[in-house]
Amino acid sequence: MSYIGTYYAIGYSWLGSLLNYFLIGWLNGELDHYYMSSWRVWVALVVVFSIAGNITLALIRYRSQQVSLLRELWTCFKWVALMFVFLGGISMHVCKAILCHMLSIDIGWGATSKEVEDTNFFQEISIIIAGFKYVFIFCLAVTALMICGVYAFPYLWRINELVAIFPLATVIFCHFFLPIALNPNLMKFTW
């Protein structure tokens, strides 16, 4: 149960961050104390998994092998940025997969294709835009919403607190850069 629960939690995170943006932005301090904001969850996850987990893994490898501690720390921490983008950018896709499974809608997994296609940089950009157009539209719309929330909403309805903005901005950043940063065909820079 806990294993499948993590997929539901990942799939819910983009929607929960959007809901948290409004709840914390408009009702900060008035919510029940049982409600934990996305900011607290994010800080806890960064401290536990990205910092403490990597330090612990480096210490375990250092003690069990004949390698230097600094080298193992570098090995553990060099992938944090890519893992951050990957895990932060898959929630909409996991949510889509869970909903399609629940509703018996057949979906295809193009990202798991085993055939290597020889493309250049510009062809790959058009493939990414076509494949992720709804994600990009969502990212741009929510970015516009957050900008309006700071500057265009009526004064009493403005959302300009970091604890409300940062978690949603992180989700938007990761969803926008997931297909770009983790695409090996873009890293070739062939014309």
pLDDT at 131: 86
Please tell me the distance from the alpha carbon of residue 113 to that of residue 32, in angstroms, as a whole number.
Answer: 46
pLDDT for res 137: 96
In the prediction, which pLDDT does 31 show?
Answer: 78
Nearest to 17 by CA among 45, 37, 46: 37
Gap between the Cα atoms of 38 and 42, Å rounded = 6
- Tell me the pLDDT tens digit for each residue of 12-54: 999 999 999 999 899 887 877 777 777 888 888 888 888 999 9
Q: Give CA–CA dist 142/139, Å, rounded.
A: 5
Phi first, then psi: give them for residue 149, nearest 5 degrees.
-65, -30
- The confidence band for 191, taking pLDDT boundaries of 50, 70 and 90, is low
pLDDT digits (tens, 9 = 90+) for 131-188: 899 999 999 999 999 999 999 999 999 999 998 999 999 999 999 999 888 887 777 6
**Mean pLDDT computed over 78-92:** 90
The C-alpha atoms of residue 172 and residue 135 are separated, in whole angstroms, by: 9
Residue 168: the pLDDT is 94
pTM to 2 decimal places: 0.83
Asked whether the beta carbons of 183 and 124 are under 8 A apart, the reply is: yes
Structure tokens at 163: 């604890």
Selection from 168, 177, 139 nearest residue 41 by Cα: 168
| Three-state DSSP state, 26 | helix
